[in-house]
Amino acid sequence: MPDNLDHESTNECPNIKERIRQAHSEDGVRIWQAIGRTQTSKNHQNCNVARCVANDIAHTDDSPSHVRADCTCGSDGPAPGELLSLAEQGSMPVVRFDAERVALDAWTPDIPLIAISHALSDGLCNRRGNDLPQCQLRSLKESTTAAMSRLGYPEGSPFQVWIDVLCIPAREVQPGGTSEDAVQTMQMVATTAWAVLVVDSDISRLPQSCSFQHAFFSILYSSWNSRLWTLYEAMRAKWLLFQFADGVLDLDDIESKRGIEIEGSSDHFPPSLPYRELYSMLCGEDPVMADTWSWVSASLRGRRTNYLKDACFIFRSLFSISLDPGRLEVTGTPNTLDDEQMMAFYLQLAQQATHPPIPNGIHNTNARQ
């Protein structure tokens, strides 16, 4: 079948396919195609081999979607006044799912907090207000309850939930970039949450019993893993959990599949998911950027952010460096930038590290200007 026809009939993103080919050879592409590909619910018409823009803000809805396309349920969320006043008092707003309602709460370290990590393009985004369709809230209640069970808590144990759309006052997500306050909140959440639960439209279709290969390609080439911010949340998570179709698995559950399946397998077998190694490289004692950049850059490739200014904030968090977006005069969206240009931009940010800088040209094999 000619490549063009194949792309049209399968909604196959040429950029995702090429990134898989480069990282996992043709064997990887075959496995990805055999599992039904990823991000097939997204619009890849504006994508090409050099970039996938399907999850960028310019190409996605600014209102949330229902769990099923034919659902017409109403919305619910914290009252805007209460959310603002809680934030202004210096408390971190979180929510509880009480009976059929969403209740606003102030974060307390004594109650387990589950943070939801997702791509804004995946239906749980609302740029007009702090509410979500009731069907989505029911789904979040179910998956966070399953997460508590996976963490070993008895049924009925109290817990709190943080998700940006319900907990960051809508005014702090400004046109042009996320506010400093919102960024500080997101950093605090990622480091204080007892667990980070990934909710993604590809991963949540998989049964828990799926193979490691299936889970690996679904996670690594999901919408969730295409965003820069989610890398920080994944690395910093004390427990990294994933919502599957019939429950919740954590990173160890998925890695243990690999250990079992790799025995006796003569096929191409994908490596472990990279989040733990990235954490030990970037968050260990005195990380040396020059030693780790080639590894880190492999996990940055294909990741995008809605505003270039936000990439500065994220790099500041990822690499513990001080960056002043004002001084860099970074504005606008990466709308027209392809993967190579994004990598060149990321390298510029990383080179400002307070740790020993990356020598020019030595580890910079992927960042052509």
Nearer to Zn ion, 44 or 363 (CB): 44
Residue 44 binds Zn ion (CB under 5 A): yes
Task: Select the span of 27-35, 127-135, 260-268, 283-291 touching Zn ion (CB under 5 A).
Answer: 127-135
Comparing CB distances to Zn ion, the nearer of 287 and 302 is 302
Does residue number 54 form part of the binding site for Zn ion (CB under 5 A)? Answer: yes
> Per CB under 5 A, does 115 bind Zn ion?
no
Least distance from Zn ion to the Cβ atom of residue 357, Å: 33
Least CB distance to Zn ion at residue 74 (A):
8
Q: Does 135 bind Zn ion (CB under 5 A)?
A: yes
Q: How far is the CB of 1 from Zn ion (least distance, A)?
A: 19
Smallest distance from the beta carbon of 167 to Zn ion, in angstroms? Answer: 21
Residues 6+ positions from 77 with CB-CB distance below 8 Å = 102, 129, 130, 131, 132, 165, 166
262 binds Zn ion (CB under 5 A): no
Shortest spacing between CB 86 and Zn ion, in angstroms: 27
Span of 52-60, 206-214, 220-228, 355-363 interacting with Zn ion by CB under 5 A: 52-60
Span near Zn ion by CB under 5 A; candidates 37-45, 234-242, 260-268, 356-364: 37-45
Stretch that binds Zn ion, among 54-62, 91-99, 170-178, 359-367 (CB under 5 A): 54-62
Q: Which of 216, 110, 107 is nearest to 168 (CA)?
A: 107
Stretch that binds Zn ion, among 13-21, 154-162, 284-292, 349-357 (CB under 5 A): 13-21
CB 205 → Zn ion: shortest distance, Å? 18
228-236 and 308-319 helices cross at what angle (nearest 10)? 20
Site string for Zn ion, 299-318 (x = CB under 5 A): --------------------
Alpha helices in the chain (DSSP H): 3-10, 14-34, 80-88, 134-150, 164-167, 180-192, 212-220, 228-236, 251-261, 275-283, 289-300, 308-319, 325-328, 339-350
47 is an interface residue for Zn ion by CB under 5 A: yes
Q: Are 218 and 38 in contact (CB under 8 A)?
A: yes
* Residue 276: partners with Cβ closer than 8 Å, 6 or more residues away: 251
In angstroms, the CA 312 to CA 35 distance is: 35
Report how far residue 213's alpha carbon sits from residue 24's, in angstroms, rounded to the nearest whole number: 12
CB 206 within 8 A of CB 245: yes
Nearest distance in Å: CB 208, Zn ion: 25
Say how far apart CA 17 and CA 239 lie, in whole Å.
30
**Whether the Cβ atoms of residue 93 and residue 167 lie closer than 8 Å to each other:** yes
Residue 13 found at the interface with Zn ion (CB under 5 A): yes
Least separation in angstroms between residue 203's CB and Zn ion is: 17
Cβ closest to Zn ion, residue 24 vs residue 44: 44
The Cα angle at residue 26 between residues 22 and 27, in degrees rounded to 5? 115
d(CA 274, CA 219): 11
Q: Kindly tell me which of 41 and 91 has the beta carbon lying closer to Zn ion.
A: 41
Q: From the list 71, 103, 288, 362, which residue makes contact with Zn ion (rule: CB under 5 A)?
A: 71
| Residue 247 burial (10 A CB sphere; 0-12, 13-18, 19+) | middle
Type of residue found at 151 = L
Q: Nearest approach, Cβ of 72 to Zn ion (angstroms)?
A: 7
Residue 50 near Zn ion by CB under 5 A: no
Distances (CA, A) of 36 to 19, 29, 112, 247: 16, 11, 36, 21
For residue 17, the minimal CB distance to Zn ion (Å) is: 9
- Pull the structure tokens for residue 69: 């396309």
* Binds Zn ion (CB under 5 A): choice among 7, 59, 66, 276: 66
Our finding on whether 133 is near Zn ion (CB under 5 A) is yes
The footprint of Zn ion (CB under 5 A) covers 13, 44, 47, 52, 54, 66, 71, 73, 133, 135
